[in-house]
């Protein structure tokens, strides 16, 4: 977690150079090549446990792992922006370091990952367990720290 130490706002980039972005509908989460927009900025909230974070979109909603499939009858599940009435494990992500990159894992062992290819998968983001070694690189995220916590306020 030392890679995110002091981070207040970050942006996440896939292995294909696309950014994790909050959809304009304030619910969906997608990938986009333009990382300069506010939709690509995620506020980091550290949970008491050192390796757990919550990521909040520019709309004030949390990056949430759902049980809803990305496409019916597939194993990948949707990731959405939500504002739960109570903070719970669906909005908490265990952070694992992989060199200078990060993996984000749900409490149920599934990883945040981008999807690609033909529609309906193109530019989607979901969570699941990679089943082959050639998909393991898809669950690592490069990150940029855009703003640090102002420690002088404390």
What does the pLDDT profile of the chain (154 residues) look like in tens digits? Answer: 688 989 999 999 999 999 999 999 999 999 999 999 999 999 999 998 679 999 999 999 999 999 999 989 888 999 999 999 999 999 999 999 999 999 999 999 999 999 988 998 999 999 999 876 666 778 999 999 999 998 655 4
Give, in order, the Cα–Cα distances in Å from 26 to each of 39, 92, 114, 148. 10, 19, 19, 25
- HSE-up (13 A, CA, CB side) for residue 83: 7
pTM for this entry:
0.92
- Overall fold of domain 2-153: Trefoil (Acidic Fibroblast Growth Factor, subunit A) (2.80.10)
Q: What is the 3-state secondary structure (H, E, C) of the chain?
A: CHHHCCEEEEEEECCCCCEEEECCCCCCEEEECCCCCHHHCEEEEECCCCCEEEEECCCCCEEEEEEEECCCCCCCEEEEEECCCCCCHHHCEEEEEECCEEEEECCCCCEEEECCCCCCCCCEEEEECCCCHHHHHHHCEEEEEEEECCHHHC
Question: CA nearest 1: which of 64, 53, 42, 43?
Answer: 53
Asked whether the bond before 141 is cis by omega within 30 degrees of 0, the reply is: no
């Amino acid at each position: 977690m030392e890679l995110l130490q002091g981070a207040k706002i970050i942006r996440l980039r896939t292995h294909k150079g696309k950014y994790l972005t909050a959809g304009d509908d304030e619910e969906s989460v997608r990938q986009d090549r333009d990382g300069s927009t506010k939709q690509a900025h995620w506020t980091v909230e550290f949970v008491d446990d050192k390796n757990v974070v919550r990521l909040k979109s520019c709309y004030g909603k949390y990056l949430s792992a759902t049980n809803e499939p990305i496409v019916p009858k597939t194993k990948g599940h949707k990731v959405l922006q939500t504002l739960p009435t109570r903070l719970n494990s669906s909005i908490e992500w265990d952070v694992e370091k992989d060199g200078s990159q990060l993996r984000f894992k749900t409490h149920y062992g599934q990883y945040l990952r981008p999807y690609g290819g033909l529609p309906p998968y193109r530019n989607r983001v979901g969570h699941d367990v990679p089943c082959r070694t050639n998909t393991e690189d898809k669950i690592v995220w490069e990150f940029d720290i855009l703003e640090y916590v102002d420690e002088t306020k404390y």
